[in-house]
């Protein structure tokens, strides 16, 4: 479902951060999808990893409008 959401967002010309699960993916797998897509890894059970993705997204794009899990 996540990949479909990312593809739809990018197809509409929007920017997004695609977040993979740390125990299933590598950062290499999450990067390079599209110029408007930032790849990241996160474990939603670990608050620090969620915070890191939010901070990285703000730093990269200047902010965000929606978070979807």
Query: Rounded to a whole number, what is the distance in angstroms from the first to the last CA of the chain?
Result: 10
- Phi, psi for residue 27 in degrees, rounded to 5: -65, -30
Residue 66 lies in a domain: no
Residue 31 lies in a domain: yes
Residue 12 lies in a domain: yes
State the total domains in the chain.
1
- Predicted structure pTM score: 0.84
**Helices and strands per DSSP (H, E), number in the chain:** 3, 2
Res 39 pLDDT > 90 = yes
Cα R_g (the chain), whole angstroms: 11
Q: Output the pLDDT for position 2.
A: 82
- Phi, psi for residue 32 in degrees, rounded to 5: 80, 15
The string of pLDDT tens digits covering residues 4-25 is 999 999 999 999 999 999 888 8
């Amino acid at each position: 479902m996540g990949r479909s959401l990312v593809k739809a967002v990018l197809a509409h010309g929007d920017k997004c951060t695609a977040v993979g699960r740390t125990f299933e993916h590598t950062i290499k797998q999450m990067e390079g999808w599209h110029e408007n897509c930032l790849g990241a890894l996160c474990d939603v059970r670990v608050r620090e990893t969620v915070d890191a993705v939010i901070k990285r997204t703000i730093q990269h794009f200047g902010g965000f409008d929606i978070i979807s899990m």
